[in-house]
Structure 1
Amino acid sequence: MGEQQRHSGAEVASFLLEHESEVIGSWRQLPFFDSGDSDTAQIERDCGAVVHALAEAVRTGDGDDPAASPFNALRGLFMELAGRRTRLGDTASEIAVEVGKLKRPVMRLWKSVGGQRGVEETALLVDALGTLRVAVMEIAVASGAELIQQQQEQLLELSTPVIRLWRGILAVPLIGTLDSARSQIAMESLLQAIVDQSAEVAILDITGVSMVDTMVAQHLLKTVMAARMMGAECIISGIRPQIAQTMVQLGIDLEEVTTRAGLADALGYALTKIGYQVSAPSGSVGR
């Protein structure tokens, strides 16, 4: 960094620090810093941290580098602020617009208190404010992607519940399309439940599964084998005629796997397996 640029950077940094209170006063009402809990002191601290980061960036000649130390030091704050806006439904572009609103009051103050400002000093300040926007937008994009991933994982977990049907008997009703991610979560959830509840029998009910291909069948078989290794017998129920035909055509061998037509049949078998006697109530024959 040349001597002139160093001098210009020091002048811009001095301006930001000398007028920190005015900048904070103009920023604290903006949506980007709104914490939602009316904690004015925290909002002012957040604003002040950004002012100091901008001052340090222009002082060190890093005002155009979003990965520079001054901006990187605010990564945690940016993640919190951008993450909050993301959870409220703002997109990365909308967050970038909010950050862009920080520029106008600073430039207005810059023009009003300093008289004639040099072109280089003004350019340094503009660049630093633009870099701030880029740094926040990068984190906003990452936060949005992380939120989407978390939501997908939560939906997968909700779509593969493990149900306790009886003491020692668990069931996983699978509905819709099975892929590797859902199958893996179903297996992990079932195995953990087998350990937690000391289950002896686990039922995989695929009545609601629309299609079974080789990959899905392999996942089902792996789940059965893994449950068996955990000390529980695994039953597959709800194999519809179309799926049975498909599995035969694919050459999928379920000879060593216990299967039942429906969940009720599987539950009856499971109860017998753990020592209960299941019989129809008297007088129900023929009804």
Structure 2
Amino acid sequence: MKREQEALLAIVSEEESGILDEWIKESGVPESRRRAVTDEATQLLRAFRAGLRAGADPAVLRDERWADLTHSLQALSSSRAAQGQKAGDTSRFVLAFKRPLLALAQKRLAADPALLMDTVWAISALVDQMAQLTVTTYQETREAVITRQQEELLELSTPVIKLWTGVLAVPMIGTLDSSRTQMVMEALLQKIVETESGLAIIDITGVPTVDTLVAQHLLKTVSAIRLMGADCIISGIRPQIAQTIVHLGIDLQGIMTKATLADALALALERTGWRIVAQAA
């Protein structure tokens, strides 16, 4: 173990209480959160000390002997991110750990300038890496949350609804892209199998624009439905969309289309052998 590692280990082993007090004071946390933050700081300090005892290199946080410390930092950052706290708040909290360590190093090692310099460098290098790890973890946590929310929104925006016996409907809202089309296709085909439905309505009333790519996605979905032995009606063909399809030269021949979902349902019922009659007054 290098001299600066031994010096730093002696500091955190013999001055734990004082380090914690100065760390919490430097972090500037409100009184209401002081107890929780003290628990967080205590856990980090003990993991810090355990890494030093194992001989971990302060310049390399990726050293496996820092595993307990990195896990604690990641858990801290993830927990705070879930609570809505900012990455900068967690980073500043970790950086506040540097001040009491530097003060104690200066006090205890003033008689040995070379050792003091090496210890200061070790403290700065390690604590800076710790702060950076919390920022990286925060970003990864937020990205994971955003990705999960996007997936949930996609699922919510593409429900497969059973309108009638043997008739399913998928109301499309928003822009169609490859990933969303694939999700719709999988959900619709699975529902066709589960309900043994023979007809599916894809309603594009909520799709703002139809271009060549969107049309190709729709045609692929219709083809997949037909391979399952079912048929398909596309509803929501507004005048603007009809003109766009014609201008683009998109061939929808052989595919049933209707202007509204109501018209599509009426056609679906007719195709499946149902007839709705108004009740006499």
Distance change in 2, residues 1:127/1:259 (3 Å): same
Q: How far apart in 1 are the matches of 2:159 and 2:216?
A: 20
Higher fraction of helix:
2
- From 40, 58, 65, the counterpart of 1:63: 58
> Could you tell me how far 1:247 is from its partner in structure 2?
0.9
Aligned to 1:34: none
Distance change in 2, residues 1:135/1:68 (3 Å): farther
* Stretches of structure 1 lacking an aligned partner (at least 5 in a row): 32-37
Once the two structures are superposed, what CA deviation does each residue of 1:241-267 show, in whole Å capped at 9, x if it has no partner? 111111122121111222222111111
**What residue identity is the alignment partner of 2:260?**
G
Aligned to 1:163: 161
**Secondary structure at 2:141's aligned position in 1?**
helix
- From 5, 9, 13, the counterpart of 1:13: 9
**What residue identity is the alignment partner of 1:56?**
G
Q: How many corresponding residue pairs?
A: 277
Distance change in 2, residues 1:154/1:9 (3 Å): same
Query: Which is worse superposed, 159-168 or 47-56?
Result: 47-56
Aligned to 2:235: 237
**What residue identity is the alignment partner of 1:264?**
A
Q: How far apart in 1 are the matches of 2:195 and 2:42?
A: 51
Q: What percent identity do the matched residue pairs reach?
A: 39
Q: How far apart in 2 are the matches of 1:50 and 1:198?
A: 61
> Could you tell me how far 1:54 is from its partner in structure 2?
5.5
Listed as ranges, the matches of 1:43-54 within 5 Å are 44=39, 47-48=42-43, 51-53=46-48
> Could you tell me how far 1:20 is from its partner in structure 2?
4.5
Aligned to 2:192: 194
Query: Which is worse superposed, 74-83 or 132-141?
Result: 74-83
**What residue identity is the alignment partner of 1:69?**
E
- From 206, 214, 217, the counterpart of 1:216: 214
**Secondary structure at 1:275's aligned position in 2?**
coil
Distance change in 2, residues 1:46/1:270 (3 Å): farther
- From 127, 142, 155, the counterpart of 2:140: 142
- From 71, 80, 103, the counterpart of 2:75: 80
Aligned to 1:35: none
TM-score, with length taken from structure 1: 0.78
Distance change in 2, residues 1:71/1:168 (3 Å): farther
**Secondary structure at 2:237's aligned position in 1?**
coil
> Could you tell me how far 1:92 is from its partner in structure 2?
2.7
* Contact map agreement 2:205 2:236 (CA 8 A) in 1: yes
TM-score, with length taken from structure 2: 0.80
Aligned to 2:31: none
> Could you tell me how far 1:6 is from its partner in structure 2?
0.8
> Could you tell me how far 1:9 is from its partner in structure 2?
0.9
Distance change in 2, residues 1:79/1:119 (3 Å): closer
**What residue identity is the alignment partner of 1:87?**
A
Aligned to 2:92: 97
> Could you tell me how far 1:217 is from its partner in structure 2?
0.5
**What residue identity is the alignment partner of 2:86?**
T
* Stretches of structure 2 lacking an aligned partner (at least 5 in a row): 28-33
Q: How far apart in 2 are the matches of 1:231 and 1:46?
A: 63
> Is 1:246 equivalent to 2:241 in the alignment?
no
> Could you tell me how far 1:171 is from its partner in structure 2?
1.3
